[in-house]
Structure 1
């Protein structure tokens, strides 16, 4: 078997290097049910080429995975998605997208380890999935914000109605987003960082 020598393997691209001004790095997880847009969000906002672990969907998922609203989806994340974004010259966020299919949820605990906060992406066509997702974060003590990802065929509800339906505490931010758009995804992350800052200032962030 032939192996390439190290001098023939391309190194990281210039834009993949961590900014030299970076002083702090924060781990953020992006969670949600199957097909809610986690991979899309990481890809749209990451300043480096995102690492994905998508595999072609197989017969193994039939009768097991709930793909309602995502019937045309042909690939799914089986381990994680990874990206990076510099919020300021000093602050860098490492983004970890979790697998959405329930049979891969056992991987979540490892991805939650060391996370300062989380984004819960929801699809209004399948709100019921969100309760398990938020419950897992609450069990782990991971603060989170809720982002309502817009789908063309998804029903629209006022934000406060969704807050009530999801039984969210008044202090937990909930916002609308389009995970395909970098600016929208960045706004979600900024909302999370402001929320984490407010928790830290109040002494609620441990």
Structure 2
């Protein structure tokens, strides 16, 4: 489910420039295990040509970066993905997709720095990978929502059951998301922003 970017366009495009009305920019990270669709989500929702650091998968990665679920996956992120989306005329989100392979997780600390929140992408066929991902966010104090990526061949479960399986706290949102679709990815980001707003409001009341 990797997002395939188009050929490079020389020079900046008009849509690459921040709107003059923008007053606030927020850093958001898209995290998850190997092959859960992080590059796809950033690419589907970004209003600028996304920056990707994908490398072709080779036989050297078999047994290390092996994604047996997806024979179509030929490239993998080795540093980060970057995109941008304007939520309103005044609010812009900078999106940073993390590498999913465990051997590159040392890069996460730098990507988490300054992040206001995160989307944890989940594949129902490999839920166990998500525990380490969420644990790292909790250690850094980064609030997050969980988005269950609806792969075509993945089993579907009620969200209440997945909440229990992932041992999620009641206040953490969990939603279904099709990372290939801009509207679905944008809705997930909006849920994260509402969650972050609720956190700020609750702290002001205490």
User: TM-score scaled to structure 2, two decimals?
Assistant: 0.92
Runs of 4+ in 1 over 4 A off after TM superposition: none
Please state how far the C-alpha of 1:10 moved relative to its aligned partner.
4.5
Please state how far the C-alpha of 1:11 moved relative to its aligned partner.
3.0
- Report the counterpart of residue 43 of structure 1 in structure 2: 43
1:176–1:190 Cα change, 3 Å: same
- Report the counterpart of residue 124 of structure 1 in structure 2: 124
1:10–1:76 Cα change, 3 Å: closer
Q: Determine the C-alpha separation between the residues in 1 that align with 2:66 and 2:202.
A: 39
Q: Determine the C-alpha separation between the residues in 2 that align with 1:72 and 1:102.
A: 21
**Residues 51-66 of structure 1: matches in 2 within 5 Å?**
51-66=51-66
**Residues 88-167 of structure 1: matches in 2 within 5 Å?**
88-167=88-167
Task: Structure 1: give runs of 5+ residues left out of the alignment.
Answer: 1-8
Q: Determine the C-alpha separation between the residues in 2 that align with 1:53 and 1:67.
A: 18
- Report the counterpart of residue 6 of structure 1 in structure 2: none
**Residues 61-80 of structure 1: matches in 2 within 5 Å?**
61-80=61-80
Please state how far the C-alpha of 1:65 moved relative to its aligned partner.
2.1
Q: Determine the C-alpha separation between the residues in 2 that align with 1:146 and 1:177.
A: 9
User: TM-score scaled to structure 1, two decimals?
Assistant: 0.92
1:138–1:57 Cα change, 3 Å: same
Task: Structure 2: give runs of 5+ residues left out of the alignment.
Answer: 1-8
The count of residues paired between Structure 1 and Structure 2 equals 196
Q: Determine the C-alpha separation between the residues in 1 that align with 2:172 and 2:65.
A: 29
Which one has the largest radius of gyration? 1
